[in-house]
Chains A and B, each alone.
Chain A
C-alpha cells in the first residue's frame, strides 16, 4: 500500500508549529503589555513628583504659589469622606446582603433586587454625581459638604459591598447555622453569633477594596461641586472639602498654564497611590490571614 506523501505533510506541520510558537509569543506580549504601561506610568509619576514630597507639602495648606502649596486639606478631606462612606456602606451593604441571603424567599423580589444591584454596578459614576447633586446638595440643601459627597460615594460603591458580603455569607457551610439552630438559637442569634463572625474577613476585604475605589473616584465629586478655591481644613462632616483626586484634577488642568503644577499633581498622585496600595495590601492580608476555607 502506498503511504501518504510525507514531504508536504512535514512542511505543513512545520508551519503549524511555527504559527503556534509565534502566536504564543504574541499572546504573552499582550499579557505583559498592560504591565509595561503600568511601569512607564509609575516611572513617569515617581520621577516627576517624588522630589516634591516633603513635610511641608504633606502638612501645608493649598497655595496659589506652587512651591508653597501643601495637600493637608485634601488628605483631611479624604479622611472625613471615608468616615462617612465606611459606616454607611457597611451598614447598608451588609444589611442588604443578610436580607437577601438569610431572610428573603428566593423568588421574584430577590430576583428584582439582584438584577437591580447588577445594573447599578454598571451605572457610570458621573450619573451618581448627578443624583448626589440633585438630591443631597440641592433638594436636601446640604451644599457641597463632606456629608453630601460621602452619601453619594456610598451609593456608588454599595453594589460592590453588597455582592462581596453576599459571597462571604454564602461561603459559610450550612452545617454551621444548622448546628446553631439545633441548639435552640433563633435566626437572628445565629446571624449575630455564627454567620457574621465567620463572614467578617470576606466582608471586610470587600469593604476595604470598595473604599479604595471611593478614595480614587473623582467624577461624582466634580459634579457635586468641589471648589478649586482655597478653603479652610474641614473639621467635620458638614464642612466644605476637597480630596486628593480633586487636587490632582485641578493641578493637571492648571499645568497647561503653569508647568510646576504638573509636579504637584505627580506628587499628589504618589500620595494617593501609596494610600491605595496600603489599603489594598491590608485587604489582602485580612483575606489570607483570617479567611477560613470550610
Chain B
C-alpha cells in the first residue's frame, strides 16, 4: 500500500497514512470477526454429534413407550410387519455378532501376520510397494465387496458346503474380514514400527531368530496397539452395512447356524427405511431403537480401543 502511494506524485505521505488508518479499521474488524466465524464453523462437528444423539434418543424413547425395553433386549422373535408385531432385537444382535466374529477370524490373524511381514521381514523396497497396494484394498467401496460376496464367494462356498443357502451369514462375514485386513495390518504395523530398533538388536545380539524377536520382543511391546486395531476392526465390522445387506438377506433368524440367512442391525435399518415405513408407526420407531443400539456398540468399541492404546502403551 505504501509503495502504491509513492508511485503517484499527487498523494502526500499524510494522505497515505490516513488511507492506511481507514483500511486498518476495516482490517481490525475482520481480524476480530474471523475467529468467531471459524468457531461457528468448528462447532458444526459438535452439532452433528448432538444431532445424532438427540434424534436417536428421542425416537428411541418413543419406541420404548410402545414396546417394553425388556421385551426388546430379551426377545428372540422379530416380526415387525406381522399382524401381532414382535420386536425382539436378539436375532439382529446374534446376526451382527456372528458376522463380526467371522470377519475377525479372517482379519485378525491375516492382518496381524501381514503387519509382522511388513514391519519385521519385508525390505524397504517391498514395503514401499506393498503398503499402497493394501491401501487400495481399503479404498474399494463396500458395495463392490457386497457384489463380490453375493455373486462369487457364496457360489464358491456352496461347492464346499452344499447346504449353504443362497443368502447366508458366512460369505459376507468372510468378505468383511478381507475388507478389514488392511485396517488391522496398517494399524498393527504402526504399533510394531514404533518399537525401538535397539530392543530388536538386543535380542538379535543374544542369538534370537527374527521369529523369536517378533514373538518375544516386538509383539509384547506393541500389544496395546495391536489389540486396539482388533477392537477397531470389530467396530468396523459391526457398522458395515452393504455387504451383509446384499449377501445375508433379510431373514430374521435367531440361530447360530452360519450357513443360514441372518439379518444384522445395519441390514434391518436398510430394510425398514427401504420399505417406506410410515412415520409414527412402531416399525418406524424400531428403526431408531436398533440404530441407537448399533451406535452405542460402535461408540463403546471406539472408546475401548482408545483406552487400550493409551492405558497400556509401553513408553520407550
**Residues of A in contact with B (beta carbons under 8 Å apart):** 16-17, 19-20, 23-24, 26-35, 37-38, 40-41, 44-45, 91-92, 95-96, 98-100, 103-104, 112-113, 116-120, 122-131, 133-135, 138, 155, 158-159, 162, 186-188, 212-213, 215-219, 222-225, 245, 248-249, 252-253, 255-256, 262, 265-266, 269, 272-273, 276, 280
Contact = CB atoms under 8 A, between A and B. Distances in A.
Nearest to B118: A31
B49 interface: yes
Given A135-B51, A216-B142, 9 more contacts: A34-B182, A123-B239, A130-B269, A218-B142, A223-B273, A252-B143, A252-B147, A265-B147, A266-B147
Nearest to B208: A16
Given A92-B44, A188-B31, A219-B266, A30 B110 contact: yes
Contact of B306 (A104, A118, A131): A118
Nearest to B117: A27
10 contacts: A31-B113, A35-B130, A38-B136, A40-B152, A126-B266, A131-B51, A217-B142, A225-B276, A252-B151, A253-B246
A96 B44 contact: yes
Nearest 9 Cβ contacts at the A-B interface: A124-B239, A216-B141, A95-B41, A30-B113, A27-B117, A99-B38, A219-B241, A122-B302, A20-B209
A197 to B, nearest CB: 17
B238 interface: yes
A126 B295 CA distance: 10
Interface of B: 27, 30-31, 34-35, 37-39, 41-42, 44-46, 48-49, 51-52, 55-56, 59, 109-111, 113-114, 116-118, 120-122, 130, 133-134, 136-137, 139-148, 150-152, 166, 178, 181-182, 185, 209-212, 214, 232, 235, 238-242, 245-246, 266, 269-270, 273-274, 276, 279, 287-288, 291, 294-295, 298-299, 301-303, 306
B246 A130 contact: no
A186 B32 CA distance: 11
Nearest to B209: A20
A242 B56 CA distance: 26
A133 B109 CA distance: 38
A103 B42 CA distance: 11
Given A27-B121, A124-B238, A256 B270 contact: no
A130 to B, nearest CB: 5
Nearest to A222: B270
A103 B52 contact: no
B41 A96 contact: yes
Contacts of B109: 30
A19 B215 CA distance: 12
A249 B238 CA distance: 20
B209 A19 contact: yes
Contacts of A27: 113-114, 116-117, 120-121
Nearest to B142: A218
B137 A38 contact: yes
A135 B55 contact: yes
Contacts of A117: 45
Nearest to A219: B241
B312 to A, nearest CB: 18
A113 B134 CA distance: 31
A24 B121 contact: yes
A37 to B, nearest CB: 5
B193 to A, nearest CB: 15
Given A124-B266, A216-B141, A222-B270, A17 B302 contact: no
A55 to B, nearest CB: 24
Contacts of B46: 112-113, 116
Contacts of A265: 147, 151
Contacts of A217: 141-142
B239 A28 contact: no
Contacts of B136: 38
B211 A273 contact: no
B157 to A, nearest CB: 14
B152 to A, nearest CB: 5
B52 A30 contact: no
Contacts of B279: 138
B270 A158 contact: no
A256 B166 CA distance: 9
